[in-house]
């Protein structure tokens, strides 16, 4: 079957978008952006300087009051226009995501839909930002009300695994509530963000309202150091999330920092085996395992272990690994050579620790894409809770199969993990499902759902070392993160 055409074979050197204009970075540091399926260079990204980042924040701050005074209904209109443009550009967005990140085109289409969902939700700002009041609330003849106010300039530091969606967890809510926003995309996948900004530009947001700065540490450090930055949103690994939380906190900024994960999926003896296996394939192998919601530990309870493992191996072997732009591919490559090396290192570690490697994806060959960063489905059996592969985030298509006696043992295992992003249970028993959702300490729970990814109008974040902060991304949490409450007490003489 023919591979879908990319939007472009080479997107050139990425630009920053500052104060409503596309500007070249003057940084001497420039990185190549590669298609992970082919390793061809498809763009270059500059690592913007502190001065360039500062200029973007200054321009945003300068333009803030004008946007803050724009009526919520008028702000919402920009989002309605953006939605129309994004629907029109849906397929192009998805193809760019697939091309630069490696994920399958269906995964990329799903991600694109989630971007638009967040725009849809933010477009409802006239309802979402409403305050509340109480006549005679302070005393007889003295009214009291709460106004939900914007704060100024916010920023986001984004990861490589969802180049489209993650910025949209944050900026639509910040901008809809009357704030300004500066996005720093991952330097590994900057093309989608640049493309999105071209659409944002067409939607008519005034200059300075939303800006794009390509870069790495210098840009991020400037977010912390600049007095006008009110908050930082982050998604990435746990060590960096901890650092972001600390640095932003020390500078008195709001922060929501989403970290890594080690997610467990529990299969009870009464699970519907065929449907469970099919659903878990998407969880463990979707996005080549590079999701913070990806399954990693598969925990079989009781005597379902053998039939489950047999079916799982058969399904894993049949999975078609290939270029993401080939619509028939069911799993694409991981994002980079470094990411592949890290995953291969974990597979070797699993072997060294004594786990039994039932399916080895290390030497997979994808015809026509011999240089690509592919790893085939990999399955370990006899994994024990003390092994590194059972505890640490691998971020690749590696399944750690455990056998446990009962649900309590599985929940105890989940609770020993420092992470708490998502856990799922597969069962037809309401009691088991209820116990699981009640007891499990994770930010997201799936019941017969392997990727429990909150929709735009629900909050998204994990517990424990999977999240540092209190207000989550998306939905009402995002509205609260980007605003403050102002109490007004009114008396008329």
Partner 1 sequence: MIQSEFPEITTFGTLVRFALELERVAAMVYEELASDPSCAAGADTFKALAEKHRARMALLEETRREKLNEAVLEPISDIRRADYLVDTAVPKGAHVKGSAAFAAVVEDTSAKFYRDTARIAKSILHGAVPIFERMAKENASNKARLEGL
User: Which residues are identified as catalytic?
Assistant: 292
**Would you say 14 or 94 has its CB closer to partner 1?**
94
Choose the binding region for partner 1 from 43-51, 86-94, 338-346, 401-409 (rule: CB under 8 A).
86-94
CB-based burial, 418-439: b 16+ in 10 Å, e otherwise:
ebbbbbbbbbeeeebbebbeee
- Quick note: the x/- pattern for partner 1 over 257-286, rule CB under 8 A, is ------------------x--xx-xx---x
- How many whole angstroms separate alpha carbon 295 and alpha carbon 329? 19
The answer to the question of residue 193 lying near partner 1 (CB under 8 A) is no
The answer to the question of residue 2 lying near partner 1 (CB under 8 A) is yes
The nearest distance, CB 12 to partner 1, in angstroms, is: 28
Axis crossing angle, helix 105-122 with helix 72-88, rounded to the nearest 10 = 160
Query: Which of these, 399, 364, 393, lies nearest to 378 by C-alpha position?
Result: 399
Helices vs. strands in the chain: H and E counts, helices first = 16, 22
Supply angle C-alpha 295, 387, 410, rounded to 5. 55
The nearest distance, CB 101 to partner 1, in angstroms, is: 13
Q: What is the largest CA-CA distance in the chain?
A: 82
Pairing relation of β-strands 21-23 and 229-235? unpaired
The answer to the question of residue 329 lying near partner 1 (CB under 8 A) is yes
Task: For residue 20, give every residue at least 6 positions away whose Cβ sits within 8 Å of its Cβ, in sequence order, or none.
Answer: 201, 206, 207, 208
The answer to the question of residue 430 lying near partner 1 (CB under 8 A) is no
Beta bridge partners, 21, equal 18
Among 240, 319, 357, 359, interactor with partner 1 by CB under 8 A: 319
The answer to the question of residue 109 lying near partner 1 (CB under 8 A) is yes
**Would you say 75 or 114 has its CB closer to partner 1?**
114
The nearest distance, CB 68 to partner 1, in angstroms, is: 34
Among 13, 29, 77, 113, interactor with partner 1 by CB under 8 A: 113
Supply angle C-alpha 176, 177, 178, rounded to 5. 90
Question: Terminus-to-terminus CA distance in the chain, angstroms?
Answer: 78
The answer to the question of residue 53 lying near partner 1 (CB under 8 A) is no
Among 9, 198, 317, 320, interactor with partner 1 by CB under 8 A: 320
* Tokens 């699970």 belong to residue: 271
**Would you say 54 or 103 has its CB closer to partner 1?**
103
The answer to the question of residue 110 lying near partner 1 (CB under 8 A) is yes
Q: By CB under 8 A, name the binding residues for partner 1.
A: 1-2, 87, 90-91, 104-107, 109-111, 113-114, 275, 278-279, 281-282, 286, 315, 318-320, 327-330, 449, 451-453
């Amino acid at each position: 079957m023919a591979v879908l055409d990319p939007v472009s074979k080479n997107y050139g050197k990425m630009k920053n978008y500052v104060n409503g204009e596309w500007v070249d970075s003057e940084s001497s540091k420039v990185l190549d952006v590669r298609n992970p399926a082919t390793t061809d260079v498809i763009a270059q990204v500059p690592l913007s300087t502190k001065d360039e980042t500062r200029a973007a924040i200054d321009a945003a701050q300068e333009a803030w009051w004008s946007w803050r005074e724009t009526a919520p209904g008028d702000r919402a209109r920009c989002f309605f226009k953006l939605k129309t443009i994004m629907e029109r550009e849906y397929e192009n967005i998805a193809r760019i995501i697939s091309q630069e990140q490696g994920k399958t085109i269906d995964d990329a289409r799903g991600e694109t839909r989630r971007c638009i969902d967040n725009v849809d939700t933010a477009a409802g700002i006239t309802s979402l930002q409403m305050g509340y009041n109480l006549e005679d609330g302070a005393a007889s003849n003295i009214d009291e009300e709460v106004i939900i106010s914007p704060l100024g300039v916010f920023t986001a530091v984004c990861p490589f695994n969802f180049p489209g969606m993650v910025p949209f967890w944050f900026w639509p809510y910040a901008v809809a509530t009357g704030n300004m926003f500066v996005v720093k995309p991952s330097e590994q996948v900057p093309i989608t963000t640049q493309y999105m900004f071209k659409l944002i530009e067409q939607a008519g947001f005034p200059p300075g309202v939303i800006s794009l700065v390509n870069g790495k540490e210098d840009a991020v450090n400037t977010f912390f150091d600049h007095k006008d930055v009110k908050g930082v949103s982050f998604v990435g690994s746990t060590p960096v999330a901890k650092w972001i939380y600390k640095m932003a906190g020390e500078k008195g900024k709001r922060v929501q920092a989403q970290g890594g994960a080690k997610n467990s999926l529990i299969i009870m003896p009464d699970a519907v085996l065929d449907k469970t296996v099919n659903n878990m394939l998407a969880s463990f192998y979707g996005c080549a395992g590079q999701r913070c919601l990806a399954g990693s530990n598969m925990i079989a309870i009781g005597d379902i272990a053998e039939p489950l493992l047999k079916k799982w191996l058969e399904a894993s072997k049949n999975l078609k690994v290939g270029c993401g732009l080939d619509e028939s591919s069911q799993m694409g490559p991981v994002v980079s050579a470094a990411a592949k090396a890290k995953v291969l290192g974990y597979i070797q570690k699993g072997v060294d620790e004594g786990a039994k490697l039932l399916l080895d994806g290390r030497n997979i060959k994808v015809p026509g894409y011999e240089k690509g960063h592919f790893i085939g489905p990999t399955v370990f059996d006899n994994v024990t809770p003390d092994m590194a592969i059972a505890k640490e985030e691998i971020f690749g298509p590696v399944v750690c199969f455990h056998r446990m006696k009962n649900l309590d043992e599985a929940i105890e295992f989940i609770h020993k993990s420092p992470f708490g992003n998502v856990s799922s249970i597969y069962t037809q028993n309401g009691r088991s499902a209820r116990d699981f959702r009640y007891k499990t300490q994770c930010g997201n729970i799936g019941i017969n759902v392997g990727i429990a990814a909150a929709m735009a109008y629900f909050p998204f974040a994990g517990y424990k070392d999977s999240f540092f902060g209190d207000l989550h991304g998306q939905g009402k949490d995002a509205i609260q993160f980007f605003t403050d409450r102002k109490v007004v007490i009114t008396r008329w003489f």
